[in-house]
A = this chain, B = another copy of it.
Amino acid sequence: MTQARMTPKCSVFIATSLDGYIARDDGSIDWLEQANASVPPGEDCGYRQFMSSVDTLVMGRNTFDLVLTFDAWPYGDTPVVVMTHRRVTPPGHVPPSVSFSSATPSELVESLGANGARHVYVDGGRTIQSFLAAGLIDEMTITVIPILLGSGRTLFGALERDVRLAHLSTTAYDFGFVQSRYRVLKSA
């Protein structure tokens, strides 16, 4: 088995405002929860199907802290790696499927691959940005919510060079969400 075959696919699946924010400056997603309230029951914009294809989650500490405030742990037994340099104990109950890592994105992806991961869901703004900057994201599914926030935490960040994408598909939902899927083209 070659080294290349050990590298898991890394995907993003995230919602943003039309002006590219994934949360307000204070991290709140009230605007997204309000928008989700307009989604018909049973419609999940492909989330369950995506999740069923994923064997590992990687997220930043901000996203993890937000998820811990949810009523229920949303990821079942799927292993979750929280990228953090903060050594403080997280608040509340941490499921046994959660581990913490201060590795670089490249180190982490290599180690996950060596341990059998095949499809990693990369979540959270800064984590996605660091994976994109390291050329480690393969596919992005971005759902645009019909709102402008004007400020907040951005999905995308600085890059050393342009990142070209191949558009795979777009779905416009009756309730106003527009979901596009892109493949990241690796530079030569």
Contacts and interface: CB of A to CB of B under 8 A. Distances in A.
A178 interface: yes
A149 B165 contact: no
Contacts of A33: none
Interface string A8-25: 000000000011100000
Interface string A154-172: 0111111111111101101
A18 B182 contact: yes
Interface residues on A, range: 20 to 34
A180 B182 contact: no
A181 to B, nearest CB: 10
* Most chain B C-beta atoms within 10 Å of own C-beta, residue among A149, A157, A162: A162
* Most chain B C-beta atoms within 10 Å of own C-beta, residue among A142, A177, A182: A182
Nearest to A159: B150
A164 B147 contact: yes
B157 A18 contact: no
Nearest to A30: B162
Contacts of A117: none
Given A19-B20, A132-B148, A156-B150, A170 B170 contact: yes
